[in-house]
Amino acid sequence: MMDLGTISKNSREEIRLTVETFKGMELVNIRVWYQDTAGEYRPGRKGIAFKLELLPEVLTALSKARKGGAA
């Protein structure tokens, strides 16, 4: 697993971005992690995983948000 970064979502949750291998496929995993009652972070059900090869298309689509929407 390669850790790409962590973004604080709020006081109890963070968004973790990783690249992982699953069943022989490289996946980008963007998942919300939550803090349990013991203070440990656990992966939540909220998130998305997609093939690494799709990353350029995902980045192109997300860049439209910075420009104020689809052109």
CATH number assigned to the domain comprising residue 59: 2.30.31.10
Please list the helix, strand and coil fractions of the chain in percent, rounded to the nearest 5, in that order: 20, 55, 25
Residue 12 lies in a domain: yes
pLDDT at 71: 53
Give yes or no for residue 70 having a pLDDT over 70: no
* Residue 71 lies inside a defined structural domain of this protein: no
* pTM of structure: 0.84
User: How many whole angstroms from its chain centre is CA 42?
Assistant: 14
Only one residue has tokens 């850790």, namely: 3
What mean pLDDT do residues 40-47 have?
96
CA atoms within 13 A on the CB side of 47: 21
Between CA 30 and CA 28 the distance in angstroms is 7
Range of the domain at 29: 2-66
Q: How many domains does the chain have?
A: 1
pLDDT, the chain, mean:
94
